[in-house]
């Protein structure tokens, strides 16, 4: 609240005077208690009641005012405004009330056309000028587009509350009808406004129609919070137990709510609505292991039959079933959330069932997305030939149906698959095309999906500056949208990039914040990855206790399911590297954890070939610490060969470094490997590892010199 002197100064400016009579100042200070708007309205109410007058810039107290403490003044700001409205003429009051129905801001032409007393319409401009003089509203735009604005939203709400309910409802109906008639050629900008007015007019059908249109428009514009509001209100207004076609409509709203929550990174809420959509469509999500196994077997058999005897999905005159398509959409959304939660069997069930329904419906955007998702599913098994076949089908279908949003999705999913198998150029082309389409469509979340995968691509290729730039852009975009899931991803890329170039303090800050954000969601992939990055930062920063804590968290999550996403590579790496470093430093109790982490890394590498270099490097370290140098050297050579084959310079350098530092000082290959490691580290800007390789070379040179 304002202080006493500030309150008096504010009121003086509002009245156009330099000082207030002492009784007036005391009254306003006591009643308003520092509330600026209440202070102003009290002063204006005193002026309108004739208690005070302003003459030539001087505020005068009326001689008949008496003791101001005895005045019956309202105790609320709404009450003060009501008292001021009561002093207006009947025509001014009606003008104010009708305007309040239109909104806080309103155009004169709307007020004129909906004003209920036709004979008074010629006087409306004069009445508006009087209301402006009473400081209840201000002119926002001059003629010819004359428009006004209520001085405060409380003024509008107070005037609105003074209208009888029946009159209020009829005016809303009139305003809504006016908008439909005048803007009939393009109602899209008015969907939210029409939903509001028809809702206040209690027209259930039209309200729901416009809420649906407004929600779909908000989704297209990436206005996810607004979309949540529109679809939630549509579901609330629509009574349960509608006919089948209405249940389909409700299912679509629930699925669109799931989409909106995904856009906000709110995975728990998104999953709830995806499951609700399927329930409305008469489908359950198997929960027991036997039920899941049976359901999955049926869906896989059906998909196998489709592949052996392709359905006539392209036959002439085929009309896709709306129900089948909606099932495909809902299953696809649920599968995406199961993917984040690393629920492998439920994920494959949702993917296959969704694709089966999409194929039954015919060529569509949903069919293209279904094929793309099965590319990921087959890759997780890993069935590479099958994954490539689904990848090709996805691209052909997406381009043939001409749906740009579906094509953008297919491309980003293809890019994700390609990153996991180390097809860098193909991945980059897909992700860049997907980004271009998403930007053209205004799909900000899809742009961020592309950024999240591009960040991983650049890190694996040793392009740390590019990864940092991607992380910065991703974090900034996600922060604007309030998407904490993508914020965590952006911070993880920033932390991993900072670690690579030796900025340990920055890396720790980014990684800690990423872990905190990832922990707020049912996104096990993000939790594994971010804890892995934090573990790497801590162990390389010489903080073994904190490193082990992060590694333990990542290892616990890793043990819960099979690998599902290439992004988790840092999680597997962080756990293995920390336990191996602690074992090497003499902590024998970490040996068992290190062996388990190496086994997990090998499992990851069987699904995602980009894990093969690290699997070899870590296995080599474990073998060396177990006293088997021959096996260690063979493992490091396998890791080196995989890194060279995949074009991963950071992993190449690390394999050379491990081989070099474990060879005897007299072995000439020692220096060759260390020099090669140092050159690669220098090329990619990995300053910490460059320093380690340089130190090892200097020690080697010292031994030779001695």
Q: What is the pLDDT of residue 418?
A: 98
Closest CA relative to residue 359, chosen from 327, 388, 403, 335: 327
Name the one residue in this structure whose structure tokens are 């058999």. 301
Which residues fall within 8 angstroms of residue 115, CB to CB, at 6 or more apart?
A: 94, 95, 98, 121, 124
Closest CA relative to residue 287, chosen from 274, 277, 275: 275
pLDDT-derived band at 244 (thresholds 50, 70, 90) equals: low
Residue 71 CA from chain centroid, whole number: 55
Question: Across all residues in the chain, what is the average pLDDT?
Answer: 93
Which residues fall within 8 angstroms of residue 48, CB to CB, at 6 or more apart?
A: 84, 87, 134
Percent of residues, the chain, with pLDDT higher than 70:
97
Q: What is the pLDDT of residue 705?
A: 45
Q: What is the CA radius of gyration of the chain?
A: 34
Which residues fall within 8 angstroms of residue 246, CB to CB, at 6 or more apart?
A: 238
CA distance 84 to 433: 61
Mean pLDDT of 166-194: 95
Tokens of 476: 């900034």
> Poorest-confidence range of 235-244, 274-283, 441-450, 589-598?
235-244
Q: What is the pLDDT of residue 316?
A: 42
Centre a 10 Å sphere on the Cβ of residue 343 and count the other Cβ atoms it contains. 19
Q: What is the pLDDT of residue 415?
A: 98
- Tell me the sheet residues that pair with 147: 107, 141
> Poorest-confidence range of 216-225, 290-299, 640-649, 692-701?
692-701
**What length does the chain have?**
706
DSSP, res 461: T
> Does the structure show a pLDDT above 90 at 85?
yes
> Does the structure show a pLDDT above 90 at 665?
no
Q: What is the pLDDT of residue 314?
A: 45
Mean pLDDT of 145-162: 94
Tokens of 628: 């088997």
> Does the structure show a pLDDT above 50 at 241?
no
Question: pLDDT for 438-486, tens place per residue?
Answer: 999 999 999 999 999 999 999 999 999 999 999 999 999 999 999 999 9
pLDDT-derived band at 33 (thresholds 50, 70, 90) equals: confident
CA distance 690 to 684: 10
């Amino acid at each position: 609240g304002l202080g006493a002197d500030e309150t008096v100064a504010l009121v003086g400016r509002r009245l156009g005077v330099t000082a207030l009579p002492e009784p007036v100042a005391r009254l306003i200070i006591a009643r308003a208690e520092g509330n600026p708007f209440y202070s102003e309205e009290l002063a204006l109410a005193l002026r309108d009641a004739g208690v005070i007058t302003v003459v030539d810039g001087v505020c005068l107290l009326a001689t008949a005012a008496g003791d101001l403490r005895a005045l019956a003044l309202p105790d609320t700001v709404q009450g003060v405004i009501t008292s001021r409205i009561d002093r207006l003429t009947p025509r001014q009051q009606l003008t104010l009330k009708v305007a309040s129905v239109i909104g806080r801001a309103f155009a004169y032409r709307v007020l004129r056309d909906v004003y209920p007393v036709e004979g008074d319409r010629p006087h409306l401009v004069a009445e508006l000028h009087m209301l402006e003089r009473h400081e209840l509203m201000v002119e926002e735009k001059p003629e010819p587009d004359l428009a006004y604005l209520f001085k405060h939203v409380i003024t509008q709400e107070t005037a609105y509350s003074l209208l009888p309910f029946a009159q209020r409802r009829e005016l809303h109906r009139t305003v809504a009808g006016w908008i439909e008639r005048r803007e009939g050629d393009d109602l899209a900008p008015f969907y939210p406004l029409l939903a509001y007015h028809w809702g206040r007019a209690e027209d259930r059908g039209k309200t729901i129609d416009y809420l649906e249109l407004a929600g779909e428009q908000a989704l297209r514009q990436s206005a996810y919070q607004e979309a949540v509001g529109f679809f939630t209100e549509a579901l609330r207004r629509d009574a349960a137990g509608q006919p089948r076609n209405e249940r389909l409509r409700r299912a679509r709203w629930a699925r669109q709510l799931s989409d909106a929550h995904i856009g906000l990174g709110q995975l728990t809420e998104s999953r709830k609505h995806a499951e609700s959509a399927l329930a409305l469509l008469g489908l359950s999500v198997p929960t027991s292991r036997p039920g899941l196994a049976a359901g999955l077997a049926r869906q896989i058999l059906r998909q196998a039959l489709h592949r052996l005897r392709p359905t006539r999905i392209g036959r002439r005159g085929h009309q896709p079933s709306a129900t089948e398509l909606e099932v495909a959409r809902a299953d696809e959304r649920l599968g995406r959330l199961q993917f984040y939660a690393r629920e492998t069997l439920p994920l494959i069930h949702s993917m296959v069932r969704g694709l089966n329904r999409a194929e039954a419906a015919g060529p569509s955007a949903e069919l293209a997305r279904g094929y793309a998702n099965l590319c990921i599913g087959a890759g997780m098994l890993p069935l590479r030939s099958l994954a490539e076949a689904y990848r090709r089908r996805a691209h052909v279908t997406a381009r043939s149906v001409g749906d740009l949003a579906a094509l953008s999705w297919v491309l980003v999913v293809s890019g994700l698959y390609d990153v996991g198998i180390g097809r860098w150029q193909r991945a980059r082309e897909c992700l860049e095309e997907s980004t271009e389409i998403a930007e053209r469509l205004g799909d900000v979340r899809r742009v961020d999906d592309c950024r999240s995968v591009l960040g991983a691509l650049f890190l694996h290729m040793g392009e740390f500056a590019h990864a940092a730039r991607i992380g910065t852009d991703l974090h900034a975009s996600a922060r604007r949208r309030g998407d904490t899931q993508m914020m965590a991803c952006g911070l993880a890329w920033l932390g991993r990039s900072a670690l690579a170039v030796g900025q340990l303090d920055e890396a720790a800050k980014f990684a800690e914040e990423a872990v905190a954000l990832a922990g707020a969601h049912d996104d096990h992939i993000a939790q594994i990855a971010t804890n892995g990055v934090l573990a790497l930062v801590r162990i390389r920063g010489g903080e073994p206790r904190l490193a082990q804590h992060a590694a333990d968290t990542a290892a616990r999550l890793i043990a819960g399911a099979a690998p599902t996403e290439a992004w988790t590579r840092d999680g597997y790496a962080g756990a293995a590297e920390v336990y191996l470093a602690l074992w090497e430093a003499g902590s024998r109790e970490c040996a068992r954890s290190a062996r388990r982490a190496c086994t997990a890394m090998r499992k990851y590498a069987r699904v995602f070939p980009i894990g093969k270099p690290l699997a070899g490097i870590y296995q080599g370290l474990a073998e060396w610490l177990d006293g088997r140098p021959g096996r260690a050297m063979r493992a490091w050579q396998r890791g080196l060969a995989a890194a060279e084959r995949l074009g991963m310079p950071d992993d190449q350098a690390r394999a050379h470094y491990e081989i070099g530092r474990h060879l005897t000082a007299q072995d000439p290959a020692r220096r060759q490997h260390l020099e090669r490691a140092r050159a690669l580290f220098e090329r990619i800007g990995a300053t910490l590892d460059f320093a380690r390789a340089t130190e090892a070379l200097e020690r080697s040179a010292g031994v030779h010199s001695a």
